[in-house]
Amino acid sequence: MFAHDQERSQSDHCEVAKRPSLSKEAIAVLSLRLSDSDQRHNTVNLDPKERLTMILRVMTIIGVLLLSISAPWATAQGDVGMKAPDIMNEMWLNSLPLKLMDLKGKVVIVEFWTFGCYNCRNVEPHVKDWHKKYAEHGLVVIGVHSPEFAYERDIDKVRQYVAEHDIRYAVTIDNDYSTWNRYRNHYWPALYLIDKQGIVRYVRIGEGGYQDTERLIQSLLQEHL
């Protein structure tokens, strides 16, 4: 059916959890740092008991770091198979307000992004391409603009970016993070692919996986209600 085919640098953020700025996991890691004197010891000179203690402490730090990385991903993936939350934002660009309940029978991409995000800009051409190729076949793209920094809250700047980058699909302004929170989202960019029944079928965090995502879009478009 289809052909297969602030004060940090504006290009330096995304794909990181938005809030809190200092996570509990990070605090735990800081609390587990070795004392200055321990750090200066050569492990070769430690007795077996001291060496075992140091190894266990290092392993604990590694475990906490892995948990802090995997927990948000698990939360996002846990939404697969669930009914997609509706989008309640009042401000929309390129479209009248859209409700998922009114889009039954359509395949919907909900993409969380912000215009200062370097990774979002890398994903953007693919999202625009999917909109161009599949809109007439029943794909609806909704870009949820959830700002990370204060300057990204400026609606005129969002409107300017959308115009300059020729973004033609619907964009909703999520300055209060209402949609971000309803989706329990943690990342920029994040893409939620929703089927014709309004069920989240796939979540993609960050860049990449474009061919897999497009194949799934094609598959969902061919599903019957």
Output the six-digit token pair for 32. Answer: 């587990």
- Residue 49 included in any domain: yes
Q: Where are the alpha helices (DSSP H) in 80-169?
A: 118-134, 155-164
Of 77, 107, 138, at which residue does a domain stop?
A: 77
- Residue 12 included in any domain: no
Per-residue pLDDT in tens (0 to 9) along the chain, 225 residues: 554 443 333 333 444 334 333 444 444 444 444 444 445 445 556 667 666 766 776 676 666 455 544 445 544 555 899 999 999 999 999 999 999 999 999 999 999 999 999 999 999 999 999 999 999 999 999 999 999 999 999 999 999 999 999 999 999 999 999 999 999 999 999 999 999 999 999 999 999 999 999 999 999 999 988
- Residue 202 included in any domain: yes
- Distant-in-sequence, close-in-space partners of 28: CB < 8 Å, separation ≥ 6: 64
If one counts the domains in the chain, the total is 2
Domain that holds residue 67: 24-77
Residue 163 shares a structural domain with residue 214? yes
Residue 58 shares a structural domain with residue 145? no
pTM: 0.70
Give the CATH number, domain containing residue 134. 3.40.30.10
